Amino acid sequence: MLRGAGGGPRAGNRRESRSMQMGILGLPKAGKTTLFNLLTASAESTDKFAKSRDAHLGVAQVPDARLARLRDLFAPRRYVPATVQFVDVPGIQKGQGSANLDLVKLREVDALVHVVRCFEDEELAHVEGSVDPRRDVADVDLELILADLELVERRLERLEQSSKRGLRPEEVRERELLQGTLLPALEAERPLREVALADEDEKRLRGFQLLSAKPLLVVLNVGEEDLRRDPESLLGTALGTATRTVVMSAPIEQEIAQLPAAEALAFLEDLGLSEPSVDRVIRTSYDLLGRISFFTVGEDEVRAWTIRRHTTARAAAGAVHSDIERGFIRAEVVAADLLLARRSLAACREHGELRLEGKEYEVQDGEVVHFRFNV
Ligand SMILES: Nc1nc2c(ncn2[C@@H]2O[C@H](COP(=O)(O)OP(=O)(O)O)[C@@H](O)[C@H]2O)c(=O)[nH]1
Ligand SMILES: [Mg+2]
């Protein structure tokens, strides 16, 4: 019966229904739009007086040297890297809590990028009068915390009113979680990303879209002279373990983006960098989102597919097509580096490097996968 076939959890539910989204936030004139333009090859206005009230949405390709080399090997008709979306919102204002419209725009994103101004520029006054990255990180965190606090308090009031008619067990658990764990953390000005929660509690909270619970990448936008300093010395403190950092210089990244590839490499080397900081921002974002890529290869197409870490082979097949997931038999798997060394799947097979894996196998980042299936 047809209903039986489609009645279980649908393959589509596990697929990425949309690209992962990172929201860029920070104080005005920190370099947010400059970074957004670099990430997404856009050209939104960044002049010193630009004051956009609109959010911009753009797509960044996830740089992956293995995938690029697979493209060179297979010379396919189509080449499809993984992508991450970035949203650039206008600079946030201090002290507005959840009334801050720009924070509301960030509720739907999966993780946040806070661009922090660390560069000096006499012509461009810092909104707070001085350059102090540690203060700015704390101030922006506090805005997120206050917005969450309002939301949690409002929800608790609503539950309080409902408690007159008696709460359902699910609501009781929710109240415990809000009252006992979230509220105290927020009142202590602790971002929720630092609070460890059980999986089911995390699920329970997902609908709230709490800002301080989102994974955070702090981008320190420095002057050229600070490019090789480490984040802790720039901030004068270590950030929480749920926070990642990347140091970059926006004007230098702009220069790199305009150079031909060979010159860009030489320039990076001069600066003592192994890759553009923009590439690190994208890759760190992908990682922060808990995403990895596996590849499919052929003359037709060389392509990266985005899956959550710890996805099984069968569910990974569903990222490609629900028919392949449904008819999954086995996956033929080889690490991209091995394939690049042998130069063909047939040669990998001959050397016993093409493994046959079953449906429960956990696909690893950078693996080339060929699914065998039956429809
Ligand atoms: N000197 C210097 N200026 C920068 C740097 N990053 C951005 N700017 C300039 O600062 C101004 C504001 O940048 P923008 O990206 O629009 O900042 P946003 O308000 O955070 O979006 C622009 O004139 C940029 O060219 C930097 O690292 N050094
Ligand atoms: Mg801007």
Pocket test for ligand 1, best of 25, 27, 29 (most atoms within 8 A of CB): 29
Atom in ligand 1 nearest the alpha carbon of residue 47: 23
Residue 10, pLDDT score: 36
Give the residue ranges of DSSP H helices in 247-361.
250-258, 261-271, 277-288, 313-320, 322-326, 336-342, 345-350
Confidence of residue 101 (pLDDT cuts 50, 70, 90): low
Asked if 289 contacts 110 with a C-beta cutoff of 8 angstroms, the reply is yes
Phi/psi of residue 354, each to 5°?
-90, 105
Cβ of residue 254 lying under 6 Å from some atom of ligand 1: no
pTM of the model: 0.90
Atom in ligand 1 nearest the alpha carbon of residue 36: 15
56 bridge partner residues? 88
Q: In this predicted model, what pLDDT tens digit does every residue of 71-95 receive, in sequence order? A: 999 999 999 999 999 999 876 666 6
- Read off the pLDDT of each residue in 258-286 and give the average, rounded to a whole number: 94
Rounded distance between C-alpha atoms, residue 55 and residue 59, angstroms: 14
pLDDT tops 70 at residue 249? yes
Q: In this predicted model, what pLDDT tens digit does every residue of 11-61 receive, in sequence order? A: 333 454 467 999 999 998 999 999 999 999 887 877 555 556 678 899 999
- Read off the pLDDT of each residue in 358-373 and give the average, rounded to a whole number: 97
Nearest CA to ligand 1 atom 9: 31
Residue whose pair of structure tokens reads 């005005």 in the numeric block: 28
Instruction: Write out the residue limits of the CATH 3.10.20.30 domain(s) in the chain.
Output: 2-11+292-373
Instruction: Write out the residue limits of the CATH 3.40.50 domain(s) in the chain.
Output: 21-55+90-149+186-288
**What class is the 2-11+292-373 domain?**
alpha beta
Cβ of residue 124 lying under 6 Å from some atom of ligand 1: yes
Cβ of residue 31 lying under 6 Å from some atom of ligand 1: yes
pLDDT tops 70 at residue 4? no
The rounded Cα 278 to chain-centroid distance in angstroms is 13
**Which CATH fold would you assign to the domain 21-55+90-149+186-288?**
Rossmann fold (3.40.50)
